[in-house]
Structure 1
């Protein structure tokens, strides 16, 4: 992503959301999975049989707060994100967590769930399509190192919290609010669209000399047969001084 990239702010309808969907279809969101020593990405969430088959487009901004029922994770249990194959900075032990993420440029103002690994080492994605998820065993935003916030791209019914992540350009701001009320603001530096099989583990998860943020979702093309997106989209951002 370069500074000269066009800024398209109007919501876009994903091609997959325009398709006619059947009951039992699968929604896919971006995750990372270690396979054969290389980091790749593929979340898969099975939609419940009772879910409507008709396409329902999101109304308003992606970050608009939906009713509890519309934001419920009724589509089924999620596949996971394995821990990166390289060391990451130690998790914060202060008890402070991430409560909200705001990205004004794309209309995101979302609650943040705490996501972590299960007993097998797999990191589960956010349980709600309109929420983002902070990797709680990683870096607390604002501390030295790469903090990780992931979010769904879409579901078979609607766009999700990070549906318009690709519209961000260098300089756009991301504000993260912690549970103690403090905030950290980051400026977008760059972004990459990567194939799962060549996921840049070191670049995304490797240690950094300053406070940074990674926003991760999945990206096309979408493979209907495999029920999976082929790529991940990763936004890199750096902490900015208060008031700047």
Structure 2
């Protein structure tokens, strides 16, 4: 059961996140080495097997500030009241994971899900709207785990338009999203505002690494699932 609250203006939070996320990096996407899942700047060149977290990356230039939402966007489709996510469930690919809450470190880099050897759960970036609020709620997960095992988001490419994604929230409700499409982007040309910018309704972004290069043992790309709140 979903509780509607069409009066909130949570798209503004997504616009703010779009600028901040140019500095975010997520380690652990390499096979047996360190990789990065970043939202804008080139990935770290580090390939040290024991590295757990990559160094923050400084963008080459400051991105333009995103425009505030238009009145039409604010008066868009109904959304849910704020409530932080607890679990992510995608039955078609057998995925169910508890969700960590990821914030920013003092140096501007993103806190990352720690892999202790059994894989790491996905994480929700708490600078983005909660799932069901207006704007894109952002979740990140590893494509693999230590020792070459599969990561929590290893099967995102199997998701097809119309697939349901369930996010259980701490208020006892479940936000149900349907997949719109997936897209692969080179990390050097990540479309930050397209992924993190304001949206007229409640949306979801699932982000992982892609484009594995055997020569470097790193992933050169990101794969993003775009989903919208089911109405």
The normalised TM-score by structure 2 is 0.69
Moved over 4 A (4+): 40-48, 80-89
Residue aligning to 1:191: 182
Residue aligning to 1:31: 38
**Structure 2: tracts of 5 or more residues without a match:** 1-29, 69-80
What does the per-residue CA deviation read over 1:109-147, in whole Å, with 9 as the maximum and x for residues that have no partner?
Answer: 001000111101111222243300000111111000000
More strand by share: 1
Pairwise CA distance, 1:173: 0.7
Residue aligning to 2:19: none
Q: Which residue among 138, 141, 144 is the counterpart of 1:154?
A: 144
More helix by share: 2
Instruction: Let me know the Cα RMSD of the aligned residues.
Output: 3.0
Does 2:54 match 1:79?
yes
Quick one: distance in 1 between partners of 2:47 and 2:86? 24
**Structure 1: tracts of 5 or more residues without a match:** 1-15, 18-24, 49-75
Quick one: distance in 2 between partners of 1:187 and 1:103? 10
Aligned length: 182
Task: Please say which of residues 77-86 and 200-209 is displaced more in the overlay.
Answer: 77-86
Instruction: Tell me if structure 1 keeps the 8 A contact 2:133–2:202.
Output: yes
What does the per-residue CA deviation read over 1:11-67, in whole Å, with 9 as the maximum and x for residues that have no partner?
Answer: xxxxx87xxxxxxx41435332x43xxxx556978654xxxxxxxxxxxxxxxxxxx
* 1:25-174 matches, cutoff 5 A: 25-28=32-35, 30-32=37-39, 34-35=40-41, 40=42, 48=50, 77-79=52-54, 85=63, 86-87=65-66, 96-128=83-115, 129-157=119-147, 158-174=149-165
Per the alignment, do residues 207 and 187 of structure 1 end up closer, same or farther by CA in structure 2, a change over 3 Å counting? Answer: same
Residue aligning to 2:199: 208
The normalised TM-score by structure 1 is 0.65
Instruction: Tell me if structure 2 keeps the 8 A contact 1:134–1:149.
Output: yes
Quick one: distance in 2 between partners of 1:209 and 1:185? 17
Instruction: Tell me if structure 2 keeps the 8 A contact 1:139–1:147.
Output: yes
